[in-house]
């Protein structure tokens, strides 16, 4: 058994959060690199701006990790991918005659 936490299907499910993470990382780097550039560097506004972008990046990364753990845990518990799982019929259901 492999020691990986996330399998291929789980990683595909998490790509919806990886794309915004990449966008936030791009803007965080762009703001840090070009802040002293042609525009004046206002320490208060720049600090607020960078803290908002960094906090959003950090919280989305934590949310993505725990969502991946929950998806992987559900797949392990049920033994199948959650979206393609079928539920076996209930034996006590008497709605249909045999």
Query: What's the maximum distance between 2 C-alpha atoms anywhere in the chain?
Result: 79
What is the model's pLDDT at position 46? 80
Do 46 and 35 meet the contact criterion of CB atoms below 8 Å apart? yes
Taking the C-alpha atoms of residue 58 and residue 2, their distance in angstroms, rounded to an integer, is: 28
9-33 pLDDT, tens per residue?
Answer: 777 878 888 899 999 999 888 888 8
DSSP structure class, residue 92? T
Taking the C-alpha atoms of residue 64 and residue 24, their distance in angstroms, rounded to an integer, is: 14
- Structure-block tokens of residue 22: 């990449």
Taking the C-alpha atoms of residue 63 and residue 81, their distance in angstroms, rounded to an integer, is: 20
33-44 pLDDT, tens per residue?
Answer: 876 655 556 778
């Amino acid at each position: 058994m492999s020691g990986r936490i996330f399998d291929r299907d789980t990683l595909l499910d998490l790509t919806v959060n990886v794309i915004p993470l990449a966008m936030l990382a791009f803007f965080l780097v762009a703001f840090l690199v070009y802040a002293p550039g042609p525009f004046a560097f206002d320490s208060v506004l720049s600090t607020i701006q960078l803290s908002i972008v960094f906090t959003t990046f950090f919280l989305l990364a934590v949310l993505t990790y725990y969502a991946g753990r929950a998806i992987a845990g559900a797949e392990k518990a049920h033994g199948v991918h959650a979206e393609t799982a079928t539920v076996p019929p209930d034996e006590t259901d008497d709605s249909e005659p045999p």
